[in-house]
Structure 1
């Protein structure tokens, strides 16, 4: 069983919380409006904290040391990023901020907020694929078991050929974004500072790589 905390109580939060509760996980929802808490407490068998989810004191009440993931799923990208940074500084093992604007996803990567999500864009891309008559595959259906995908922003020290990144045999570069354009890596591809590099690796290796590059 895992313990998760959510900031806010919009439809995305409630949908995710419902699924986690069904799986037997412990859920805590941080909500600034007491009337909303009273309403939700009749529908959800979970914990509630009354307060502003960007307040360090309120986030401490969520017990960072005992919580596996802090989900920041408010409508404002800036608020989610701020809450994620505060949550990380307080010791939450993992923070997941929601962003809607692609430029903020890149900023999240640069700040080391490794697990930012863009649900609006994901749904939009899925709808476009439906209209094109294409079959969309959810990432979770093809990346499973011991596999993990992560990304990071390349610094000056790591610029150069891919095979000089020192990834050994436990990780592979599967793609990169340069100037917002996606590229498939070529043999001896030379990486540039500022490139967003996408890796696939083993889950037990992912944490070491996040520590090396500060997340992604």
Structure 2
């Protein structure tokens, strides 16, 4: 798998380090030459010096061969722009990291669906931990090839839950989040753009197919 990171943030570097250990090909795009020099001493991966929001820089990664691109530059607007460029260049999967949740609706309106909001995720994790909840309990329940993932609803899939292109034998819609409110996936539920779907799939390949069908 070839993975491109736009920005050499601490989060990207930690993820890159794990992927390299798992024998994946990693490329880091970074504007600061000193940062690249520093990281080249510890990461066995490719580096590109430049601005990841510029198409000619992303084209150096052979985007048609890139399986995933992660945009975590520290500036939400740059993350959104780099993600859009990645989609235009036909990168298979693009992950957009947003520090400010207010930009999430903007990203969704622009067609970006794999959006990460760390402050919200970490906040929920800490609140659960403080209340004494077992935050790893769900992970222990997923056995075998079971794969749980979330995806945002694009405008074209607004309407009845029954319209979702889910393979009946290989996936189920488990629940829906709408503005942080939990909604059960009842047949009469009407989906709205921006709803977060939580789907249980038979394996990661089924999950990838569903993600692409929702784009």
**Which residue in 2 is equivalent to 1:123?**
122
**Which residue in 1 is equivalent to 2:85?**
86
Q: How many residue pairs are counted as aligned between the two chains?
A: 211
**Which residue in 1 is equivalent to 2:159?**
159
**Which residue in 1 is equivalent to 2:214?**
213
With normalisation by structure 1, the TM-score equals: 0.83
Which digits, 9 at most, give the CA deviation of each residue in 1:133-160, with x for residues without a partner? 1110276655572534233326477524
Greater mean alpha carbon deviation, residues 105-114 or residues 14-23: 105-114
Greater mean alpha carbon deviation, residues 9-18 or residues 31-40: 31-40
Contact 2:157/2:191 (<8 A) preserved: no
Q: Which runs of 5+ in 1 are unaligned?
A: none
Contact 1:177/1:195 (<8 A) preserved: no
Which digits, 9 at most, give the CA deviation of each residue in 1:86-115, with x for residues without a partner? 011112111111112333334434433232
**Aligned-pair RMSD on alpha carbons?**
2.6
Greater mean alpha carbon deviation, residues 26-35 or residues 194-203: 194-203
SS of match in other structure, 1:112: coil
Residue 77 and residue 134 in structure 1: after superposition, are their counterparts in 2 closer, same or farther (change >3 A)? same
Residue 157 and residue 40 in structure 1: after superposition, are their counterparts in 2 closer, same or farther (change >3 A)? closer
Query: How far is the alpha carbon of 1:175 from its aligned partner?
Result: 1.8
Contact 1:156/1:193 (<8 A) preserved: no
Residue 152 and residue 208 in structure 1: after superposition, are their counterparts in 2 closer, same or farther (change >3 A)? same
Question: How is 1:62-81 mapped onto 2 (pairs within 5 angstroms)?
Answer: 62-81=61-80
**Which residue in 2 is equivalent to 1:25?**
24
Distance in 1 of aligned mates of 2:84 and 2:138? 26
Distance in 1 of aligned mates of 2:2 and 2:107? 23
**Which residue in 2 is equivalent to 1:150?**
150
Residue 28 and residue 189 in structure 1: after superposition, are their counterparts in 2 closer, same or farther (change >3 A)? same
Contact 1:176/1:195 (<8 A) preserved: no
Query: How far is the alpha carbon of 1:47 from its aligned partner?
Result: 0.8
SS of match in other structure, 1:75: coil
Distance in 1 of aligned mates of 2:32 and 2:79? 18
Which digits, 9 at most, give the CA deviation of each residue in 1:27-85, with x for residues without a partner? 11101122221222122211110100100000001111222111101212221111111
With normalisation by structure 2, the TM-score equals: 0.83
Query: How far is the alpha carbon of 1:197 from its aligned partner?
Result: 4.9
**Which residue in 1 is equivalent to 2:200?**
200
